[in-house]
Structure 1
Amino acid sequence: MSHRSVRRRAVLPGPLARAVTYTRWLHLLTGAVPAGICAFIYPGASGIDEPRALWLLVTPLPLLAGWAMLPVARLAEGLQARLLLTPGEHARRPGGDPAAGIAAAPATGWSERGLTALWLVLRLETGVLTVWLSSLLPATTAALLAAGTGGAPEPVLGFRLPGHHWLYGVLAPLPLVLLAVLVVTAGNLMAAAAPRLLGPSAAERLAALEERTERLLEHNRLARELHDSIGHALTVAVVQAGAARAAGSPEFTERALAAVEETGRRALEDLERVLLLLREGPGGRPADRPGLIEAERLLESARAAGTALTAEVSGEPARLPGPVSREGYRILQEALTNVLRHAGPVPVTVRMACAPHALELEVRNPLPAPAGTASGRDRGGRGLRGIRERAALLGGEAVCGPHGGQWRILVRLPLDGGARPAP
C-alpha cells in the first residue's frame, strides 16, 4: 500500500475513503427523483416537511409501475446500477466482476418486468429515506453546534433545543456519524439487491455461456493452427539439418537450407495471420488460411526433408468447400509432420480422393523398428488428437494406427454434412 493511501486512511475511516461509498450515495439520492417531481405538484415545496408529505412514498408508485413495463427500463436501471453501485469494476473480467450479476439488457418477459418494478419501488423508498436523513441529520448537527456555542439553534422537525450547554457541542458529531453509517449500510444493501432484482435471465446466462464457449473454441482452433504450422516447420528444419550434416554434400546442404528457409517463411506467414486473428478476435478472414489446393508445397517440403513421397490425387481439390479444404490441409500437414517426427525420412504414400460427397485423405508409412513403438503414438500427443478433433468438427472421422504392417492415418470429411465410417 502506498504512503498516500496510508495517510488517507489515517484521516478517514475505511468506507469513507472509498469512492464507491459516494457513488452509491448518489444512487440512493437519485432514487427519490420521482418523489421530488410529485412533491412540486402536491403538497408543494413549502409542504414537504409536513406530515402529508408521507404520501410521497406512495404517490409515484403507479408511474414507476408503468415505467417498469417498458423493456428499456430494465436496461436503464441496469446500466445505472453498474455505473454507480460498482464503479470502475464493470470493466473487469467476468471471473472477478461484481457487476457481472447485473444485467444491462432490455426486459424480455413479464417476470423481468416485475422484478424491475420491485427494484424501482425499493429505490424510491430508500431514496426518500436517504434524502430525508441527508437533510435532517446535518441540520441536527448544526443545531447542536449552535446550542453548544451560545447561538440561536434552528428548530429540527419543529423541535428547538432547550437552553445552551457545552455538552451540545460534544454531541454535535454524532448525527453525522449516524448518517455515514446509514449511507454505507444502505449502499451495501442496494449493491447486494441489484443482482437479485436486475440479474441476467436464464436466456441471457445461456447466451453469455454460448459466447464464452465460442471464444474458447476459437482460441483452441488458433492454438491448433500454431501447433500444426510451427510444429511442421520445426520438424522439417530439424530433419533437414540432421540429413545435411549426415550427407556431407555441399549440394544437399544447399537444398536443405533452401527447404528450411521456405518452410520457415511459410511458418512466419501463418504466425502473422494467427496473431492478426487474435488481435481482431473471432470473425477474421478464414479464406486467408491455406487449403488443399496448396497441398503441393507440403509434399515438396516432405520430399526436401529426404522422404520418398508418392502422391495420388483424384478429383479436383479446387472445388472442395472452404472449411473442408482448409481443415484437410492442416490434417495433411500434421500427418506428414507426424511421419517426420516419429519415423524420419521414410517412404510415404499420400492418397487424396475428392469424391462428390466426401474427401478422403490417407497417409501411410512403414512402422519404425521395433513395430510396437509406433502404436504408442496413438495413445498420446496433440497431433493425432488434433486430427481427430478437426475431422469431428466437420462431421467426419479419423482413424490412426497400425494397418497392414504400416502406420496409417485415414480421414474422411463429408461434403454434405454426413459421414460414413472409415474402414
Structure 2
Amino acid sequence: MSDLLRPFRRAVTYTRWLHLFLAVVWPAMWMYVADGWALASVAVLAAAGLVPAARMIEGMQARLLLTGHRPDGADGRIVAMPSVTWGDRGRTVVWLEIRLFLGFFVALLTVQLPLLTVDLLTLARGGGRADGSLFPVPGHHGWYALLSPLPLVVLGAVVVGSGRLITELALRLLGPSPVERLTTLEARTEQLLERNRIARELHDSIGHALTVAVVQAGAARAANSREFTERALVAIEETGRAALEDLERVLAVLREVERPATGRPTLADADRLLQSARASGASVDAEVTGVLARVPGPVSREGYRILQEALTNVLRHAGPVPVRVRVRADHDRVHLEVRNPLPEGRPGSGRGGSGLRGIRERAAMLGGRTLAGPDGDGEWQVRVELPLG
C-alpha cells in the first residue's frame, strides 16, 4: 500500500500534472471563440515547433516541471537550447502535438472522473446526474455508492501514468541530438584532460618545491653552519615563491579566470630550475644548445615540466649528487637528458613512481618518446625527445 501511495507524496507528480494542463489552456480558451479550434491548434503548434526558440522554451519548462530540476540547471537528459537542425525542429513539432493531445485527454478525465463519482453517489440516493457529465450511468441503484471511489482511483492512476509517460517522451524528443551528444562528450573529454593537466602541474611544481625545501633543510642541519643555513633559507624562499606563483596560475584555471598560457614557465626559464638544484647542493653540469625561444609554446611548457620533474626525482631519490643536464633544440625536435649517479645499494630502485609516469604522459601527449632507467654504467638517465610539429 505504501508503494502505491508513494508517487502522491512527491511534488513532481503534481508538477507533471500541471505541465499537461498548461498544454491545453490556450486551446480551451480558443474553443469558446472560434470554430475549428482543434485543427487550428494543431496547425499553430506545428508552425511554432519550427521556430528554434520553441525547443529552448519547452526544454526549460520540461526541466522545471517534469524532472524537478532548475530550468537553467545542468540536466543533460533534456536540452534547453534552440533547435539547430531540421531534425531538432521535427522532434519539437512532434513533442508539441503529443503534449497537446495527451494534455487534452488528461484534462478531460480530470474533470469527468470526479463528476462520475458525484453521479454515482447522487444516483445511489435517487437523484439526477450532474450537468456536464459525459459518462452515462443508467438507472438508480444503491450499490452505485460502493463504486463511487473507483473513478478517483482511476484518476490517480491516470495522473501518475500520464506524468511518467510525458516525462519519458520529453527525454526522447527533447533530449540531446547525436551532434549535441558528441559536443557534450568532447567538452567532457576536454574537461578531464584539463583536470589531468592541473593535477600534473600541481604535482610537478609543488613536489619540486617541497623536495628542494626538505633537501635544503636536511643539508643545513647536517652542515651546522650559519652561512650555509642562510643560503639554504634563501633557496627555500625562492623555490617556495616560484611554487606559489605556479599554484596561483593553476587556481586561476580552477576559478575559470582567463589567463594566457604564455604566463606558464617554458624551457627559456630553465635557469631557475638549475639554480634551484644547485642551491640544494647538487652539482649541475648544464649544456643548452639551440634557440629555445623558437620552440613552440606547448612543447616548451611541457619540456619545462619534464625537466623540473626529472631534477626533482634526482633530489628526492639520490640527494645532492652531480647531475648532467643536456637540452638541445634541433630544427624538428627538442632533446632533454638528465643523468646522475645511482644511489648506493639501490641500483635502479624506487624510481618508477608518479613522477616518471607524468614525464611519460607529457611526452606521449606531444607525440614524443621517453627513456628512463639505469644505463649500465652506474648512472640513472632520463632521456626525452619532443617533436616540434
Give the TM-score, by structure 1 length. 0.80
* 1:31 matches 2:23: yes
Deviation of the 1:340 alpha carbon: 0.9
Provide the C-alpha distance between the structure 1 equivalents of 2:62 and 2:192, rounded to a whole number of angstroms. 29
Q: Indicate if the aligned counterparts of 2:117 and 2:149 stay in contact, CA closer than 8 A.
A: yes
Correspondence for 2:265? 290
Q: Report the equivalent of 2:382.
A: 409
* Alpha-carbon distance in 2 for matches of 1:102, 1:383: 42
Deviates more, 1:304-313 or 1:139-148: 139-148
Report the alpha carbon displacement of residue 293 of structure 1 after superposing the two structures with TM: 2.7
Look up the match of 1:17: 9
Provide the rounded CA distance (Å) in 2 between the counterparts of 1:252 and 1:396: 40
Secondary structure at the residue paired with 1:118?
A: helix
Superposition pairs of residues 64-83 of structure 1, within 5 angstroms: 64-83=45-64
| Distance in 2 separating the partners of 1:146 and 1:288 | 82
Within the candidate set 351, 363, 368, 1:396 is matched to 368
The separation in 2 between residues aligned to 1:395 and 1:301, in whole angstroms, is 29
Q: Give the Å deviation of 1:86.
A: 0.4
SS in 1 for 2:385: strand
Q: Distance between the aligned counterparts of 1:114 and 1:269, measured in 2? A: 53
2:357 pairs with 1:385: yes
What is the identity, as a one-letter code, of the residue corresponding to 2:107?
Answer: V
Kindly indicate whether the alpha-carbon contact (under 8 Å) linking 2:284 and 2:323 is maintained by their aligned counterparts in 1: yes
Does residue 1:102 correspond to 2:78, yes or no?
yes
Any conservation in 2 of the 1:307–1:348 contact (CA below 8 Å)? yes
Are positions 1:201 and 2:177 aligned together?
Answer: yes
| Aligned pairs (5 A) from 1:2-401 | 13-33=5-25, 35-36=27-28, 38-43=30-35, 56=38, 60-88=41-69, 99-143=75-119, 154-155=130-131, 156-157=133-134, 173-280=149-256, 284-370=259-345, 372-374=347-349, 377=351, 380-401=352-373
User: Structure 1 residue 181: deviation in Å?
Assistant: 2.3
CA contact (8 A) 1:143 1:154 kept: yes
* Alpha-carbon distance between aligned partners in 2 of 1:101 and 1:40, rounded to the nearest angstrom: 38
Contact 1:64–1:121, Cα closer than 8 Å, also in 2: yes
Distance 1:285 1:173, change over 3 A: farther
Note the C-alpha offset of 1:92.
7.2
1:129-156 deviations in Å (ceiling 9; x for gaps): 1121222233344556666789876332
8 Å CA contact retained: 1:34, 1:124: no
Query: Structure 1 residues 312 and 386, CA, compared in 2 at 3 Å: closer, same or farther?
Result: same
CA distance in 1, matches of 2:372, 2:135: 90
Contact preservation (8 Å) 1:360, 1:410? yes
State the SS of the aligned residue for 2:83. coil
- The whole-number CA distance in structure 1 between the counterparts of 2:336 and 2:213 is 25
2:79 is aligned with what amino acid? A
Residues 49 and 93 in structure 2, CA contact (< 8 A), matched pair in contact too: yes
SS at match of 2:79: coil
After TM superposition, the structure 1 stretch with the greater mean CA deviation from structure 2, 271-280 or 20-29, is 271-280
Deviation at 1:341, TM superposition (A): 1.2
Contact 1:352 1:361 in 2 (8 A): yes
Q: Counterparts of 1:14 and 1:158 in 2: how far apart (Å)?
A: 29
- Equivalent residue of 2:255, what SS? helix
How far is 1:278 from its partner?
1.1
Q: Which amino acid aligns with 1:157?
A: L
Distance 2:113 2:169 in 1: 26
Aligned to 1:360, the other structure's residue is in SS state strand
Which structure 2 residue ranges, 5 or more long, are not aligned? none
Percent identity, aligned pairs only, is: 56
| CA-CA distance at 1:372 after TM superposition | 3.3
Whether the 8 Å contact between 2:56 and 2:80 is mirrored in structure 1 is: yes
Aligned partners of 2:60 and 2:72 also within 8 Å: no
Give the 3 Å change call, closer, same or farther, for CA 158–255 of structure 1 in structure 2. Answer: closer
Q: State the Cα distance separating 1:221 from its structure 2 match.
A: 0.2
Q: Using the alignment, how far apart are the partners of 2:265 and 2:61 within structure 1?
A: 48
1:188 and 1:113 mapped to 2: Cα distance?
23
SS in 1 for 2:339: strand
- Check the 8 A contact 2:16/2:65 in 1, yes or no: yes
- Within 2, Cα distance between the matches of 1:109 and 1:275? 38
Determine if contact 1:143/1:161 at 8 Å carries over to the other structure.
no
Alignment-mate amino acid for residue 58 of structure 2: E
Q: Which moved further from structure 2: 102-111 or 337-346? A: 102-111
Contact 2:277/2:311, CA 8 A, preserved across alignment: yes
Q: Is the 8 A contact 1:90 1:100 kept in 2?
A: no
Q: Please give the alpha-carbon distance, in whole angstroms, between the structure 1 residues aligned to 2:118 and 2:260.
A: 68
CA distance in 2, matches of 1:342, 1:149: 96
Post-superposition Cα deviations, 1:268-322, rounded to whole Å, max 9, x if no partner, equal 23223222221227x5432332222322221111111110111112334344332
User: Partners in 1 of 2:137 and 2:130 — Cα distance?
Assistant: 7
Aligned-partner Cα distance in 2 for 1:91–1:382: 40
1:91/1:34 CA distance change after superposition, 3 Å: closer
CA shift, 1:339, in A, is: 0.7
